Structure formats: structure tokens, C-alpha cells
């Protein structure tokens, strides 16, 4: 185990990606200081406390992105900081207060602790919601500027649309795209999406932290696929599913295509889980949560 004796921090630990990050870090022997927005909410804490190794090596802290100094205690004494806390919402009434401030000011609040030697910042590729995209771009730019000025060794992990099984008790926004498709809820986006399994995203963070030569930004995408391809795979995996036979705008299921290069992250030794496996595991998780019946 390469993490034995090392202390690292994960922000937003109750989230989809961060909870997998906590699980994999514990499995590798790390001691993990993890921030949660509300420590009094058992749905955010209990599943993390039940992870293997958590009793001995997981320490939970309460921290809010909008409170200055909130992350000092959790970041203090850590060799690495995996920053995943950020609002993942598309529909907001006040984008500045609900998206931009927590993303940008929150990232700087995390970085402000000078004891952090290295920061992994999760960021996003553009999606349909401009305000969410903007929050991600501004937060990443602010983090690069701050890291450069303060000598922090930062790496950005830029995943595509993340899906795959859940550790937390409720589904998250990105995987809900699959839920909409399976449950026949309109509108299902007609665009081609870059997909990646949540386990590969979490693992990429760890590998990027552990390999000394890793640097810069990493696109973490297994494959791009539109609803046409997803429907084809889902029909083979789950023949009982009632799936749409046209896109939400009424157009036929036309296969468009573009690619995202994952060569750089593969250079770190990442072997991606195939889309088919991730799709199957996502649906199995939805079944366990009783969100789909098959
Ligand atoms: N999922 C994707 O497809 C995807 C793709 C690219 C990039 N990303 C980025 O990856 C990161 C994690 O995404 P995710 O899918 O794992 O989302 P998620 O499950 O919604 O997790 C987000 C986490 O951020 C926390 N958070 C939000 N606002 C906060 C605040 N004001 N103070 C403290 N914590 C706060 C949430 O806490 P609560 O649990 O208390 O709400 C939650 O733990 C985000 O930066 C996201 O933009 C995600």
C-alpha cells in the first residue's frame, strides 16, 4: 500500500466523486482528513464511516466553501489536498451566490492554507449549462493563478460526464442523465457526451498525486457517445427496458461523433473501464436505490 503513513485531505467528501476518492485512498493505506458541509446529516457521514479502514484512518471535519478559514483545520498537516467540493447544480436562481462564489472563493479558501504542498483540483469540461461551466472555468483559473503565485504544486483532473455506481445513498446530477433515459423522461440531451466511470476518475486523482512527474491538466474520458449508442448498449444489457426511439427534439437517433484524447492520462497507467461496464453498474445502483424497476 503506497499511502501508508501519509495524510491527505479530500474536500466535499460526501459527494459522488469524492466519496470514491476517500474509499480508494483508505484502501491504499492513506490517512484521510475529509470535509463535509453538514456533519450532523447522517446521510452524508454514515456511508463514509462504514468504509473499510475508516474507523482507524478517516477523520471528518465540517467546512463550508463560503466561510473563510473553514478549511484550515482539514488541510492542516496534509501532504496532498484533493479538492472536489463545489456546487454541481444547473438550475439556480442566483448564479453568483449559488455557483460562482462557492466555486471560486471556495477554491481559494481551500488553497489559502499554506501547509498544502500539492492540490488536485477537479474541474469540468464544458456542458450545456453556461453558468455551471463558467463557475468551473473561473475556479480552475483562480486556482492556477494562486498556485503559481504561492508555489503550490497543482494538478487539474478534468473528467467528462461521470457515471457508475454510487457509494452515497442518493443519485447525483451527472448520472441522472442516464436515469432520465432509462425512465423515458424528456428531455434527454441529443448531444454527444464524453463519459467516464467514477472509479476511474477517483483513481486518476490518486495516480496523478503519487507519480512525481505528473503535471498540468488531465482529460479523463473513456469514450464519447450519444444517446443512440447508449440506447443500443442498454437494450443489449437490459432487454426489458422501455427505451426511447427518438431524441428529445423529435429527431431520429442520429449518431454524431467527436473524440476527446485520453492519451495523457493513459500515460499515468490508467486503464479505463469500458462504457458498457459502467452503464451496467450505474443501472444496478439505480435498481438498489429503487429508482428503476426491471
Ligand atoms: N459529476 C460529473 O459529471 C463531473 C464532471 C466534471 C467535473 N465534476 C466536478 O467534480 C466535483 C465533484 O462533483 P460530483 O459529481 O461528485 O458532485 P456532488 O456529488 O454534487 O459533490 C459535490 C460536493 O461539494 C459539496 N459542496 C457543494 N457546495 C458546498 C459548499 N458551499 N460548502 C461545502 N461543500 C459544498 C457537496 O456537499 P453536500 O453533500 O453537502 O451538498 C458535495 O459533497 C465538482 O467540482 C464538479 O464540478 C463533476
From ligand 1's centre to the CA of 250, what distance in Å?
32
* Cα angle for residues 285, 14, 30 (degrees, 5° grid): 100
Average pLDDT, the chain: 87
Cell numbers placing 190: 441529443
Of the pLDDT bands very low, low, confident and very high (cuts 50, 70, 90), residue 44 is very high
Tell me, using a 6 A CB cutoff, whether residue 84 lines ligand 1. Answer: yes
Q: Is the pLDDT of residue 103 over 60?
A: yes
Tell me, using a 6 A CB cutoff, whether residue 162 lines ligand 1. Answer: yes
> Looking at ligand 1, which residue's alpha carbon is closest to its atom 38?
37
Give the pLDDT of residue 240: 85
pLDDT tens-digit series, residues 180-221: 888 876 555 667 889 999 999 999 999 999 999 999 999 999
Residue 166 contacts by C-beta under 8 Å, 6 or more apart in sequence?
16, 172, 175, 285, 289
Average pLDDT over residues 135-140: 91
From ligand 1's centre to the CA of 264, what distance in Å?
25
Tell me, using a 6 A CB cutoff, whether residue 62 lines ligand 1. Answer: no
- The residues that bridge with 32 in the sheet, in sequence order, are 8, 58
Q: Which atom number of ligand 1 is nearest to the Cα of residue 66? A: 31
Tell me, using a 6 A CB cutoff, whether residue 8 lines ligand 1. Answer: no
Give the pLDDT of residue 99: 82
Structural domains for the chain: 7-288 (3.40.50.720)
**CA-to-CA distance for 217 and 155, rounded, in angstroms?**
6
pLDDT tens-digit series, residues 238-262: 988 888 766 555 555 555 678 899 9
Output 280-286 pairs: Cβ under 8 A, ≥24 positions apart: 280/237, 281/164, 281/165, 281/197, 282/163, 282/164, 282/165, 282/175, 282/178, 283/178, 283/182, 283/234, 283/237, 283/238, 284/165, 285/164, 285/165, 285/166, 285/171, 285/175, 286/171, 286/178, 286/179, 286/182
Average pLDDT over residues 16-40: 97
Tell me, using a 6 A CB cutoff, whether residue 201 lines ligand 1. Answer: no
From ligand 1's centre to the CA of 236, what distance in Å?
32
Tell me, using a 6 A CB cutoff, whether residue 23 lines ligand 1. Answer: no
Of the pLDDT bands very low, low, confident and very high (cuts 50, 70, 90), residue 126 is very low
Radius of gyration of the chain measured on its C-alpha atoms: 19
Give the pLDDT of residue 6: 95
Cβ–Cβ < 8 Å for 13, 36: yes
Going by their DSSP bridges, the two strands 80-83 and 7-11 should be labelled as parallel
Amino acid at each position: 500500500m503506497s499511502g501508508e503513513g501519509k495524510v491527505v485531505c479530500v474536500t466535499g467528501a460526501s459527494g459522488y466523486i469524492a466519496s470514491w476518492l476517500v474509499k480508494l485512498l483508505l484502501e491504499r493505506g492513506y490517512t484521510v482528513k475529509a470535509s463535509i458541509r453538514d456533519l450532523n446529516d447522517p446521510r452524508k457521514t454514515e456511508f463514509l464511516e462504514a468504509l473499510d479502514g475508516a474507523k482507524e484512518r478517516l477523520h471528518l471535519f465540517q467546512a463550508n466553501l463560503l466561510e473563510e478559514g473553514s478549511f484550515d483545520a482539514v488541510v492542516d498537516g496534509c501532504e496532498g489536498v484533493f479538492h472536489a467540493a463545489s456546487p454541481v447544480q444547473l438550475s439556480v436562481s442566483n448564479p453568483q451566490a449559488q455557483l460562482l462564489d462557492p466555486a471560486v472563493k471556495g477554491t481559494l479558501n481551500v488553497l489559502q492554507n499554506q501547509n498544502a504542498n500539492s492540490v488536485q483540483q477537479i474541474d469540468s469540461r464544458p456542458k450545456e449549462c453556461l453558468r455551471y461551466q463558467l463557475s468551473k472555468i473561473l475556479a480552475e483559473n483562480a486556482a492556477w493563478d494562486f498556485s503559481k503565485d504561492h508555489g503550490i504544486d497543482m494538478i487539474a483532473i478534468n473528467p467528462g460526464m461521470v457515471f457508475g455506481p454510487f457509494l452515497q445513498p442518493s443519485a447525483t446530477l451527472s448520472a441522472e442523465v442516464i436515469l432520465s433515459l432509462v425512465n423515458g423522461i424528456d428531455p434527454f440531451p441529443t448531444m454527444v457526451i464524453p463519459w467516464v466511470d467514477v472509479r476511474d476518475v477517483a483513481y486518476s486523482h490518486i495516480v496523478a498525486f503519487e507519480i512525481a512527474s505528473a503535471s498540468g491538466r488531465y482529460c479523463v474520458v473513456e469514450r464519447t457517445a450519444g444517446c443512440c449508442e447508449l440506447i443500443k448498449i442498454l437494450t443489449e444489457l437490459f432487454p426489458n427496458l422501455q427505451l426511447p426511439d427518438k431524441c428529445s427534439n423529435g429527431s431520429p437517433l442520429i449518431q454524431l461523433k467527436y473524440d476527446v484524447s485520453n492519451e495523457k492520462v493513459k500515460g499515468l497507467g490508467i486503464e479505463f473501464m469500458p462504457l458498457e461496464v459502467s452503464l451496467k453498474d450505474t443501472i444496478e445502483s439505480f435498481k438498489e436505490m429503487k429508482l428503476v424497476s426491471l
